[in-house]
Amino acid sequence: MMIPLSNSNSKLQLKIKKERQEFMKPVKIAMMGMTHGHTRKYYQTLLDNQKLDWVASCAQDEDAKKTYELYKTGVPCYLDPEEMYKKHPDIEAVVIASANDRHFEQMKWCAEKGIHILSMKIPTFNMKEYDEMIAMCDKSGIVCQIELEMHYNSVVRRLKKLIADGAIGKIKSVQATNITLSPVWAFPWQGDPKASFGSVVQLKKSDPRFRGGALCDHPHIFDLIRHLTGSSFDYIYAEVAPNLRDGLKVEDMLMAVGKMKDGTAFLFDPSWSRLEEKIKVPGPGWERFPKRMEVNVTITGDKGMISCDCFGPNVYHNGAPNDRYTVQYTYFDEWVGLIDEFVDCIRNKKTPLINLKWHKETIQAMLGCYESIQSGKIAKVG
């Protein structure tokens, strides 16, 4: 069930909003693509945050537009970016919420117009394109922030603080999961090798699958370990397992081990290991395993150990629609902090924590996983 979103449900709130806007100039923002799994997570924040004025959306196709309209945001939706820009020439920033293979052209479109960019978590896996993205953003002087929302999760914030305060001493080992259901039924491009990975590349000899699956969906833990250790990737080794979902062209189960340059050993599980119902629009009952998404981190240090569940505790039920035991996520406000940082960077000319240059090594580490799967050997990163 969807409840229409609204940023002003009373006269008092309208009055408050008007008064606030007299003191500051909200960033005129738009969304593009509307096919990414995270698209809907922005709606409430874009409407609520008074530092923003969400003026338009531009869907990739009619299907994406129809899905967008289910949420009744009240913000107009176009199918042609040029038409959107013609009607809203004052757009200052865009959330690019599209398939990975559309990011380059959309970033180029924004950079040419001097529009700031909030990019989804994988700008591109093509490193030539990646460098061009850096160059075009530098040239136009725009902010390009990468959406790695885990940094604005209050549990991750506590985790980083504990590590920085020396609660467990020097990190020796990190184990992390970024395991979820698969979004491919709702967002088919995530099961399409070209749309997800950017090109069609076989996983390894005699394997019928291609790059572009679960790994492409889960960069967070590859990024988090860099922040926690302050170190860079040295090498990585990865293995794919048999898929859980028949007919999927891309990998859904894999694991990786490796070492950071400071010696930290790591073990990552970025799989789609939680099964789901094949529904077209995410909503209640999507999950078959009780919890849709788990980011769990265990860290061994030379003075102690930390165990961390980034998305818990929650509320639990076995009610409608499927009468299955289900985790109802309860503390889920990463997008609030993410957008705050984006606005701060635009208005105060700051560089985002996760910018294109920083994020490059994370993408290289993920590519290292694919290289290792292909070669059967470790892959050096960077």
Partner 1 sequence: MNLKKMNKGLDFLRGKYGAEKGEIAIKDGHCFVGTAPLLPGRMERKIVELKKMTENGTLEGVSTLRFASFAPKGSDIAAMLAKELDLAAYLGASDIVRVMAVANGSAINVLAKLANDVNVSVEIGAGLPKGETGYDRHEIIAKRGVACDQTVDTHTKHESIRCWGAKGMAEYTDVDTELFGLTYEEVWNVRAAFALLQGRADAKVWKAAWAKATKAAALAFAADRTKAAKAIAAKKGIDTNRSIKVAEVR
Residues binding partner 1 (CB under 8 A): 1-6, 9-10, 12-13, 16-17, 19-20, 40-41, 43-44, 48-51, 71, 152-155, 157-159, 162, 167-168, 282-284, 303-310, 312-320, 323, 325, 328-334, 336-337
Between 37 and 188, CB nearer to partner 1 = 37
Distance CA 253, CA 177 (A): 12
Between 199 and 318, CB nearer to partner 1 = 318
Q: Look up residue 333 and give its two tokens.
A: 């406000």
Instruction: State which amino acid sits at residue 71.
Output: Y
Alpha-carbon Rg for the chain, nearest whole angstrom, is: 21
Closest CA to 75 of 147, 20, 7: 7
Residue 344 CB, shortest distance to partner 1, in Å, is 12
Between 168 and 255, CB nearer to partner 1 = 168
Question: Do the beta carbons of residue 256 and residue 270 sit within 8 Å?
Answer: yes
Determine if residue 240 is left, alpha or beta; phi over 0 gives left, psi from -120 to 50 gives alpha, anything else beta.
beta
Residue 288 CB, shortest distance to partner 1, in Å, is 16
Residue 1 CB, shortest distance to partner 1, in Å, is 6
Residue 18 CB, shortest distance to partner 1, in Å, is 9
Between 161 and 357, CB nearer to partner 1 = 161
Task: State the residue for tokens 């859904």.
Answer: 252
Q: Look up residue 225 and give its two tokens.
A: 């370990």
Between 321 and 376, CB nearer to partner 1 = 321
CB-count burial class (<10 Å; 0-12, 13-18, 19+) for 374: middle
Residue 334 CB, shortest distance to partner 1, in Å, is 7
Residue 71 CB, shortest distance to partner 1, in Å, is 8
Q: Look up residue 131 and give its two tokens.
A: 């460098």
Between 352 and 368, CB nearer to partner 1 = 352
Question: Do the beta carbons of residue 368 and residue 381 sit within 8 Å?
Answer: yes
